[in-house]
């Protein structure tokens, strides 16, 4: 029983990592590109680094939404099917 719960906890953390990874990577790559641009042009404007990252993360979230929903539905279905094993 404890092993099953520990496995479920680990799987939950993996699921959170998988679901957040595309948006985090997009923000990281956009931030890197913008900071290189700012360093070469010596433009230090805060909105120049903030607005493109927000837009890119939103676009990536929209495009990966079907994949994320499928992963969440599969995980939730497996979790609901496991409920009888926790009761007995």
Q: What are 31-74's pLDDT values in tens digits?
A: 999 989 888 988 877 777 888 899 999 999 999 999 999 999 99
Domain boundaries, the chain: 2-87
Cα–Cα distance, 16 to 41 (Å, whole number): 37
Q: Give pairs for 49-58: CB < 8 Å, separation 24+.
A: 53/27, 56/26, 56/27, 56/30, 57/23, 57/26, 57/27, 57/30
**Of 16-20, 26-30, 50-54, 72-76, the least confident:** 50-54
46-81 and 2-41 are packed helices; what angle lies between their axes, rounded to 10 degrees?
A: 160
Total-model pTM = 0.78
Contact present, 4 and 85 (Cβ < 8 Å): yes
């Amino acid at each position: 029983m404890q092993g099953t719960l520990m496995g479920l906890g680990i799987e939950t953390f993996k699921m959170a990592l998988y679901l957040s990874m595309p948006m985090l990577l997009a923000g990281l790559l956009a931030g890197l590109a913008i900071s290189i641009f700012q360093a070469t042009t010596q433009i230090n404007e805060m909105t120049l680094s903030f607005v493109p990252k927000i837009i890119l993360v939103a676009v990536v979230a929209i495009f990966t939404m079907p994949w994320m929903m499928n992963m969440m539905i599969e995980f939730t279905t497996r979790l609901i099917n496991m409920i009888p094993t926790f009761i007995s």
